[in-house]
Amino acid sequence: MRRVVMLVDNAVEGDSRVQKAARSAADAGWHVTLIGCAHVDAERRWRLGDAEVRVLPLAAVAASGRDAGSRDGSGLRGVSGLRGVSGLRARLVARGGLPLRAARLARRPVEHAEVRFWRARLRDGAWRRLEPGLWDYERVAGPVVDDLRPDLIHAHDFRMLGVAARAVDRARAAGRDVKLVWDAHEWLPGARPRRDNARWLPAHLGYVREYVGHADAVVTVSDTLADLLVRDHALPERPTVILNAPIAATTETSAPDLRKRCGLPPDTPLLVYSGAMAVQRGVDTVVEALPLLPGAHLALVVADPAAAYVRQVVARAARHGVGDRVHVLPYVPHRQLVAFLATADIGLIPLHHWPNHEIALITKFFEYAHARLPIVVSDVRTMAETVRATGQGEVFRARDAADLARAVRAVLADPARYRAAYEGEDSPLPGWTWEAQAERLDALYRRLLTPIR
């Protein structure tokens, strides 16, 4: 049995794409170990079907400091003047002498100077100085990957690409031929920086450019993103598109009922938003539209109902006089989610315009579709085009509460018209299943590992 190691930079539990990929690959006969790296107290192990999961703790390496850059062979040390100014501002903040926001603004010129300096010295390798925390994933996961001696490494998202590439290089130096698949979950140039500094994006862009050429194949989440990756990295082969589609044949015998959890009768209009909550996700627009939709209720299915931003949205609803019509519920297991959502009337995707929002059919799009929900989506490009083509919902202008209310009223006036898009020979649902995506992934693995005769 050929061994596949999957790598991801999180704790696995909340990442349905990674879980589905690992489980379906194991079901197809591969010996799969899924390695996550996260800030946990100790290593965690469990199984997803026949796949082994190991989540390794980053806490120990985080406590050891960020000095890996001095061990990367570059022979370069930090710029004392730049580091000194940055350190001074940090000390001022700690002593209360400089407000945090002012300190962030004040350090921007220093950060931009650091970026210019290290990119001039190290080019794409500047990430070693601008984002040395990337070495933490190497120190934690690298030795484990080596011990597992995989035939193929599947690196999810951008942080694990370098870890996988270096493991492949070590294996090949030892005489073992290991293949590398990079799974690009998002378009990095269009991502929101995950930290408030000027170093984050250029560092990670350089990191990806340094290692993308090591990949034997690339997979990604949409045709649009596949084209962008070919353009950005001059890939010799177009990435294989593996959609973030749900599992059609669930092994769960029952699932909770969203409508019952909200305490609502069958004739009460119920809108649902399921997924991560952040300003750019547009849930505020939905709350502002509720006063224009008398009697309609909103269910928010979120990872942490007590999170600060979720509380802010609920407070906004109360100020608009619709607090009693907003229901906050926790996630259910992803294998139950489609059945859980099915008792709603409309699935909402109210995204703001942002580069990565424009280019993919996101996971909740497919989840709503398999729940046979009409979809009301903002005019982000790819999803808006799909909804208009299939007739499965309505499109509204992003951040426009009145137009969102118009779209909701149109669907509620004739829901059968929109649900009909999921029926018959022209239904897109058979191709929007994880089972169909898993076949593509399995075929790719087999192609890479089949000797050329």
Q: Identify each DSSP E strand in 113-215 by its residue range.
A: 152-156, 179-184
Tokens of 428: 């897109």
* Residue 356 covered by a domain: yes
274 and 237 within one domain: no
In a domain, 70, yes or no: no
Tell me the CA end-to-end span of the chain in Å, nearest whole number.
21
Which residue from 272, 181, 244, 317 is spatially nearest to 15, judged by alpha carbons? 244
Domain limits at 152? 3-62+133-184+216-241
Number of domains in the chain: 2
302 and 403 housed in the same domain: yes
Question: Token digits for 200?
Answer: 């984050």
Are 166 and 231 part of one and the same domain?
Answer: yes
> Which CATH number belongs to the domain containing residue 362 in this structure?
3.40.50.2000
- One domain, residues 162 and 44: yes
Residue-by-residue pLDDT tens, the chain, 453 positions = 899 999 999 999 989 899 999 999 999 999 999 999 999 999 999 999 999 999 999 975 554 444 444 344 443 444 434 444 445 455 544 555 556 556 565 677 888 899 999 999 999 999 999 999 999 999 999 999 999 999 999 999 999 999 999 999 999 999 999 999 999 999 999 887 777 789 999 999 999 999 999 999 999 999 999 999 999 999 999 999 999 998 886 545 578 999 999 999 999 999 999 999 999 999 999 999 999 999 999 999 999 999 999 999 999 999 999 999 999 999 998 778 999 999 999 999 999 999 989 998 999 999 999 999 999 999 999 999 999 999 999 999 999 999 999 999 999 999 999 999 999 999 999 999 999 999 999 999 999 999 776
Closest CA to 248 of 357, 117, 310, 339: 339
CB 133 within 8 A of CB 37: no
Q: Are strands 51-57 and 44-48 parallel, antiparallel or unpaired?
A: antiparallel
Q: Find out whether 354 and 190 touch, Cβ atoms under 8 Å.
A: yes
Helix (H, G, I), strand (E, B) or coil at 365: helix
The answer to whether position 237 is within a domain reads yes
Residue at 144 is within a domain = yes
DSSP state of 431: G
Helix (H, G, I), strand (E, B) or coil at 306: coil
Residues 36 and 161 in one domain: yes
Decide: 296 and 262 in contact? Cβ < 8 Å.
no
* Separation of alpha carbons 366 and 350, rounded Å: 15
Residue 101 covered by a domain: no
Give the pLDDT confidence of 163-211 residue by residue, as tens digits.
999 999 999 999 999 999 999 999 999 887 777 789 999 999 999 999 9
